[in-house]
Chains A and B, each alone.
Chain A
Amino acid sequence: NAGVMQNPRHLVRRRGQEARLRCSPMKGHSHVYWYRQLPEEGLKFMVYLQKENIIDESGMPKERFSAEFPKEGPSILRIQQVVRGDSAAYFCASSPAFGGRSTEAFFGQGTRLTVV
């Protein structure tokens, strides 16, 4: 059972371009969480999605950022018109639905976005 897969591992974009970050959850997991981490800082929650639904996006910037988790395929975090301040590590985690007993969420290895 493969773990949470994120790609690309490293992404370089020029200011004004779009960045698309992908997260393939573990098999059987229907919940996905995205986090942003700046150097020497903690994990900042961005968005929580279930299949085809955004459950909580209170941590997402109001503009330029969007996320989706389609019925088929990976979850996508999309950043339009990137700026230097978007440079960070972006992590995703996946978990199964609550089935009477809480089950751990697993993290991917992250995507390091550098905006030049």
Chain B
Amino acid sequence: DAKTTQPTSMDCAEGRAANLPCNHSTISGNEYVYWYRQIHSQGPQYIIHGLKNNETNEMASLIITEDRKSSTLILPHATLRDTAVYYCIVFNNNNDMRFGAGTRLTVKP
């Protein structure tokens, strides 16, 4: 079973920031927080990951709380092409990756 919980769906206006929350209260000390997204029925696409520090790359920013029990993925300027299902998982390469139902983000014009 997935170790994360996410809202089922969210809407965001095009050009605005999309903030997607994730709870992972049972995360272990050596597990990282990963975010993936799946557009239509394509293979999931890696977005970003982090351990305890905030991370930023060309796609998104990841904010992890100090106690590591929750995190937020931020898409700074959402576009229509960012409409997808976003998955938050915890993983460390030595265990399996379990996906929950994810958050269906709809970016509206």
Contacts and interface: CB of A to CB of B under 8 A. Distances in A.
Given A35-B99, A105-B91, 18 more contacts: A4-B43, A31-B93, A42-B102, A45-B96, A48-B97, A56-B95, A56-B96, A89-B41, A91-B44, A96-B93, A97-B93, A98-B92, A98-B94, A102-B92, A104-B34, A106-B46, A109-B42, A109-B43
Contacts of A95: 93
B21 interface: no
Interface string B29-48: 00010101010011111100
Contacts of B92: 98, 102
Interface of A: 4, 31, 33, 35, 37, 42-45, 48, 55-56, 89, 91, 93, 95-99, 102-110, 112
Contacts of A45: 96-99
Interface residues of B, number: 26
Given A45-B97, A95-B93, A102 B42 contact: no
A82 B48 CA distance: 37
